[in-house]
Structure 1
Amino acid sequence: MTERHSPDDHPFAEFLREPTADSGASAPVGSRRERRESTSSPQRPSKRPRKRRRALVAVVVTLVLIGGLAGAGAYVYTTFEPQISAILSADTSEDYSGDGSGEVTVQISDGDFGEAIGTKLQAAGVIKDSKTFYRTLLKKDPQPVFQTGTFKLASKMSSTSAIAALLNPANKVDYTVSIPEGTTASGIYESLASVTGMSFDDFKAAGADFVSLGVPANAPSVEGFLYPATYEFQPGQTPSEMLKTMVDRQYEALDAAGVAVDQRLQVLTLAALIQGEAGSVEDMYKVSRVFQNRLADGMNLQSDATVRYGAGGSAVDTTEAEREDASNLYNTYANPGLPVGPIGNPGSEAIDAALHPADGAWLYFVTVNLDTGETIFSDTYDGQLEAVKQYQANHPEG
């Protein structure tokens, strides 16, 4: 009879053991049937790793999608942050109510848009929250168009009231001044002082330091370099800043006309003379020709306007003594050539006339009607005498 051995006695017994459900523990398998039943168990550990891999792929895909959406969201937020912020803060942002009280001035500069204006208003204490202001602005249809300038507002206004106040022209407090062509520097100082409330002497002192304003050092004064136009100066601007703006504008006109830098003083001197003597824009080009013909012929210009400027006063006519006074450097009766400098501030038409005189042989002219500006041009002295008689008939008091 063959001797039976226990399975544990088999030399390969450890390889005949299969793991149990316990963690890592081993148990002997006592029979083939038991081994078959064990291998046919519904628990199939060989399938589990495949499920884990599928779940891991799903998680990775989800994270990628979320990351992509997050990136797109970051781009959208970065691009449209002001609008998004305004919308998100719609329920939490604060606002004052009513029209406010007191007085606050705010300057709206060229290029300011809704957000920048809201920031200025909040900093000045006009509104409580710039985001609320901007959100309110976005609801307006059509969108408001704000003018540049300084506006008189109030403290603690609602956003709606602040917008309405900025759109009301009555709240604009600029220093608007209109300077006619030919106005002297002294006349400009008077206009500026009247509009701004500053003193005439402050503007006169600023004009006396004309080199700092950009006027050539060889010019006798700022006269002629202040461009006549309408200006909107802001509260807080100094007399020097205002005059500098006018000088810069005159240079723009000269540059546009093609005047060389070293010819500015000469052109303005002739243009101011034309501006002061011509009765109309059409006559400017004839007056220019008269003066240039006389200069070419070596004749004195004999302009009463230049004598009057140098002598002072407001009379239209000049006296014989004034016309003989050679110490008056603006006296073109006693001194040859152009006067020492401009006698007023010419506009663009006078500058153009100085550069482009009309064709003609005229050597004389006289304005025979001071009310209408009618002017007679003559080639000869006899013709001039006849024109003077007509002037005297029209103005016997002169």
Structure 2
Amino acid sequence: MIVLGALVAAAAFFLQGPITSLMERFQPPEDYSGAGTGEVVFMINEGDGGETIAGNLEEQDIVASSEAFIDEVTSRSEQPIFYPGAYRMANQMSAEDALDALLDPENKLENTFVIQEGLWARDALANAAAATGIPIEELEAAASDPQALGLPAEATSVEGFLFPATYTFGPDVTADEVVQTLVDRSFQSLDEAGVAPEDRWETVIVASLIEREAGSEADAYKVSRVIRNRLDANQFPTQLLQFDSTVHYGTGDDTLVTTTDAERADASNPYNTYVHPGLPPGPIGNPGDVAIDAAQHPADGPWLYFVTVNLETGETVFSATFEEHEAAVQQFLRYLDENG
């Protein structure tokens, strides 16, 4: 009997973990009840999906578990749509109340705006003006002295240094505070990426090209290599980048994908990399973290050309020879014909 009792006790000990795990599988995830207490600000950033939002809610102790929030999302008859911005929430809310709060426009705080990767400075400042109510003229004036904001000596504008992110400001924020915050956030990203202050200017120019030209994160590192290869006179004697995105920046038209023969031949456009060798005179947009990293760590490869052959999927063909590139261009032209 003593031996039998010992065996039973041992079996119970070793089976306790599996039995507990099995029971937990059939129990609902941990959840709070009610609308919670206190007040916290919860941020939904551009690109955040349901799982990311759920994890962030749990991390801030707004919900008891990400699983409970996800279960609540999937139980709704209509799939909830989440918008970037700052939301007024509470501590320890039930998953149901937390989801309702995020879907209630009344809980979305004002003075919140998003700068997307690659956005031109003029449009970034326009977003800030629309969200904060600060006149665009005041924001432009605050951005008019790049060196006073800490930008490199070469900078003639804030282009490239208004970091892509979601921003929320108080009701009394000034134009100077808004612009300096965006610039400081750019410096923060560059510092975290290991970019030395003396290398900021060239890094941001290259990153801005990558941001405008790459169709995916993986392509960003290949585009970076194409830029480096083309700037190498031994590999590409003309050192012409031949990017449509730079031409567009010089013409001030951000709505087009291609360029005309006349635009590509226009030497009066200082950003026309079809006629002016080397890097353009400044950034052509505001790059994010991936583009900054790609600028510093180009992929290994012999590519000198690339072309996006499908505007819907972003599929891009990289080529080492002009003949390969011409075949890819024909593929792109067929895509344009077939898709109007």
TM-score class normalised by the smaller sequence: 0.5 to 0.7
Unaligned ranges ≥5, structure 1: 1-140, 150-164
Alpha-carbon spacing, 1:142–1:181, altered in 2? closer, same or farther (3 Å): closer
Q: Does structure 1 residue 262 correspond to structure 2 residue 155?
A: no
Correspondence for 1:391: 332
SS in 2 for 1:366: strand
Contact 2:134 2:174 in 1 (8 A): no
Runs (4+) off by over 3 Å: 141-146, 165-174
Correspondence for 1:247: 183
- TM (norm. structure 1) is 0.57
Alpha-carbon spacing, 1:220–1:145, altered in 2? closer, same or farther (3 Å): same
Alpha-carbon spacing, 1:382–1:262, altered in 2? closer, same or farther (3 Å): same
The structure with the larger Rg is 1
Residue type of the alignment partner of 1:368? V
Correspondence for 2:145: 209
Within the candidate set 278, 282, 290, 1:341 is matched to: 282
CA RMSD of aligned residues (A): 2.3
Unaligned ranges ≥5, structure 2: 1-33, 43-87, 91-100
Structure 1 position 243, deviation (Å): 1.2
- Per-residue CA distance 1:181-211 (angstroms, 9 max, x = gap): 1111011122112212232222222222222
Correspondence for 1:104: none
Count of residue correspondences:
243
- Decide which moves more: 259-268 or 235-244: 235-244
Residue type of the alignment partner of 2:290? E
Within the candidate set 243, 247, 263, 1:307 is matched to: 247
Structure 1 position 143, deviation (Å): 9.2
Correspondence for 2:133: 197
- TM (norm. structure 2) is 0.67
Within the candidate set 287, 290, 295, 2:226 is matched to: 290
Within the candidate set 202, 225, 233, 2:161 is matched to: 225
SS in 1 for 2:329: helix
In structure 2, distance between residues paired with 1:321 and 1:393: 23
Correspondence for 2:322: 381
Structure 1 position 147, deviation (Å): 2.4
- Per-residue CA distance 1:38-93 (angstroms, 9 max, x = gap): xxxxxxxxxxxxxxxxxxxxxxxxxxxxxxxxxxxxxxxxxxxxxxxxxxxxxxxx
SS in 2 for 1:193: helix
Q: Does structure 1 residue 361 correspond to structure 2 residue 314?
A: no
Alpha-carbon spacing, 1:166–1:361, altered in 2? closer, same or farther (3 Å): closer
Contact 2:118 2:211 in 1 (8 A): yes
Within the candidate set 277, 286, 291, 1:350 is matched to: 291
Larger RCO (alpha carbons 8 Å, 6+ apart): 2
Residue type of the alignment partner of 1:356? H
Correspondence for 2:49: none
Contact 1:210 1:222 in 2 (8 A): yes
Structure 1 position 330, deviation (Å): 1.1
- Per-residue CA distance 1:322-341 (angstroms, 9 max, x = gap): 11222211111111111111
In structure 2, distance between residues paired with 1:312 and 1:356: 30
Within the candidate set 116, 120, 125, 1:180 is matched to: 116
Correspondence for 2:77: none
In structure 1, distance between residues paired with 2:148 and 2:191: 20
